[in-house]
Amino acid sequence: MSQPLPASRPTKRLAADAAGIAEAAALLRGGGLVALPTETVYGLAADATSGAAVAGIYAAKERPSFNPLISHLPDLASARRQGLFDANALALAQAFWPGPLTLVVPAAPGCTVSELARAGLPSVALRVPAHPVAHAVLEAARRPIAAPSANRSGRISATSARHALADLDGRIDAVLDAGPTEVGLESTIVACLDGAPRLLRPGGVPRSAIEHAIGRPLVIAGEAGHAPISPGMLASHYAPSAHMRLDADAPEDGEAWLGFGAEQRKHPVSLNLSPAGDLREAAANLFGHMRRLDEMGPAIIAVARIPEHGLGEAINDRLRRAAAPR
Ligand code: TXA
Ligand code: MG
């Protein structure tokens, strides 16, 4: 697939203060690319209404351009100008926005999100993030802002400004630095398109909380009879250079170790997602720890077993993608 090459440019470091927020919003309004913090991961932001600006995202990320992007808005009222919310979508937005939930809904007749950001689909992915800095930028930008995670395609999602710069320095106009992100995993994506809400991607809001809010179980995209409709659900996505060996009891000779929970002994090349066995802490550490271990250059990263409940479902989803053959 031919794509514009990422243009080389100096990348400004902006502080997350009033001046930095105003400059980020001005860059976005002018069609620029800005890495900015959300509560989930850093996003690589651009004006979602401008096909040219959105093309810049795909170029900087070297992302296959069939993948539609999430558009970020400051509140539900502005989201409802872009998408059509049925009763389930409305209940979910009211329960979890602002927060780590993305809703895929039919595009509204007046939707201004570009065809490119929607990858030509009749639906649109919308999210109202909770991070105060993201909120301030969105208020000032006064338009939907497309933002996939601020990393090159196939690499680990950026959870700090440093990670974003490691992948994108010289390819984007600015990075707005507000420290490490709190959730550490991308948003949960739920499609509300035909009356039966479907889970497209597990993420920062646990499935059980979503099912509680809508009072029914979610259909899982990709389960028998339901073709996956989110192209981002490709099996191989989060890819460190090392191979990943999951559900391990202990590292073998030469393997790096990504632990979880209390450990009897300390392995030489190891990090622990949460010594206390706390899944929230593990989610927040996941991408940073994978990246740090990978930077040490091991052939294999062995990973401890992570429980499948709560945020563990999303953590295991990301680990399985990192481990998928490629
Ligand atoms: O936490 C997050 O969601 C982060 C932060 C920056 O907000 N953003 C993020 O965006 O993860 P991105 O572009 O990496 O993820 C977009 C996902 C992909 O899996 C894509 O396929 C799906 O959303 N998606 C977007 N629009 C869709 C649509 N109309 N139908 C189905 N899936 C869609
Ligand atoms: Mg991503």
Which of 106-109's residues contact partners 24+ apart within 8 Å by CB, and which partners?
A: 106/193, 107/82, 107/83, 108/80, 108/81, 108/82, 108/83, 108/84
Cα 264 to ligand 1 centroid, rounded to whole Å: 39
pLDDT at residue number 236: 43
Q: For tokens 């930008």, what's the residue?
A: 141
pLDDT at 19 over 60: yes
Residue 266: pLDDT band (50, 70, 90) is confident
Angle at alpha carbon of residue 259, lines to 283 and 168, rounded to 5°: 50
Quick one: CATH architecture of 243-323?
3-Layer(aba) Sandwich (3.40)
Q: Which sequence spans correspond to the domains of the chain?
A: 12-220, 243-323
Tokens 């099996």 -> residue: 235
147 CA to middle of ligand 2, Å? 9
Percent of the chain with pLDDT over 90: 68
pLDDT band at 326 (very low <50, low <70, confident <90, very high): low
Higher-scoring residue by pLDDT: 209, 241: 209
64: confidence class by pLDDT, cuts 50, 70, 90: low
Distance 70 CA to ligand 1 centre (A): 5
Instruction: Tell me what pLDDT residue 178 has.
Output: 97
Structure token pair of residue 223: 């389960």
**CA 257 to centroid of ligand 1, rounded, Å:** 30
- Residue ranges of E strands in the chain: 12-15, 34-36, 43-47, 70-72, 101-106, 123-127, 145-146, 174-177, 188-191, 198-201, 219-220, 243-248, 256-259, 270-272, 300-304
DSSP 216-271: SPPEETTSTT-----GGG-S--S--SSEEEEEESSPPTT-EEEE-S--SS--SSEE
pLDDT band at 62 (very low <50, low <70, confident <90, very high): confident
Residue 225 pLDDT greater than 80, yes or no: no
Higher pLDDT, 230 or 325: 325
pLDDT digits (tens, 9 = 90+) for 174-211: 999 999 999 999 999 999 998 899 999 999 999 999 99
Which fold is adopted by the domain 12-220? Answer: DHBP synthase (3.90.870)
Q: Does the pLDDT value for residue 258 go beyond 60?
A: yes
* pLDDT for 150 beyond 70: yes
Binding residues for ATP: 63, 67, 149, 157, 201, 238
Better pLDDT: 195 or 4: 195
pLDDT digits (tens, 9 = 90+) for 308-321: 988 888 789 889 88
> Which residues, judged by CB distance below 6 Å to any ligand atom, belong to the binding site of ligand 1?
38, 40-41, 43, 67-70, 102, 104, 118, 121, 123-125, 127, 129, 147-149, 186-187, 189, 200-201, 229-232
Predicted local confidence at residue 47, as pLDDT: 97
Average pLDDT over residues 75-100: 98
In the predicted structure, residue 253 carries a pLDDT above the cut 70: yes
Is the pLDDT at 241 greater than 80? The verdict is: yes
Query: Nearest C-alpha to atom 6 of ligand 1 is from which residue?
Result: 43
Residues, the chain:
326
Q: What is the pLDDT of residue 238?
A: 57
Higher pLDDT, 78 or 152: 78
The mean per-residue pLDDT over the stretch 114-118 comes to 85
Which two three-digit tokens encode residue 109? 């007749």
The more confident residue out of 37 and 322 is: 37
Which residues face 50 on adjacent strands? Answer: none
For the residues 89-103, what does the mean pLDDT come to?
Answer: 98
